[in-house]
Structure 1
Amino acid sequence: MSSLSTPSVRAHAAQIVTLTSAAWRVAPASPRARARRAPYGYVPVRVLRRLQKTAAAAFPAHRAVLAHSW
């Protein structure tokens, strides 16, 4: 296994966090914050609120079912 042909774990993690922040349209405060939060699956509160509003609008009858998940 050559380290030149495969990306490093750090590069792969940075790529995943970059794609996720672009998809959610939320950028971490700094590269240090991004590195600190990435392994734990951290999701900013404003993103969770946006997801809650989207879920409530998409499934108005299931609002009580989703309440425990958030």
Structure 2
Amino acid sequence: MMPLTFAVIGEENIIRKIGGKQEVRAHLENLGFNVGGAVTVLNTIGGNVIVKVKESRIAISREMAQRIIV
């Protein structure tokens, strides 16, 4: 298991855990990041991460990506 920031670009990963405060976890779940769901890193730009979750492209900060364990 590793933070999403270490995932290989273009490789699909399964979300194992979402860390952080309850508000942060709820926000990420609202965006589609659910434990057991698939996530693919599409690109990293200036520390931010662009991912594909449930057929949507979402940009999240490096800090948020570090809370998502795959």
The TM-score with structure 2 as length reference comes to: 0.25
The structure showing larger relative contact order (alpha-carbon pairs under 8 Å, at least 6 residues apart) is 2
Q: Bigger radius of gyration, 1 or 2?
A: 1
Q: Which protein has the bigger helix share?
A: 1
> Per residue, is there more strand in 1 or in 2?
2
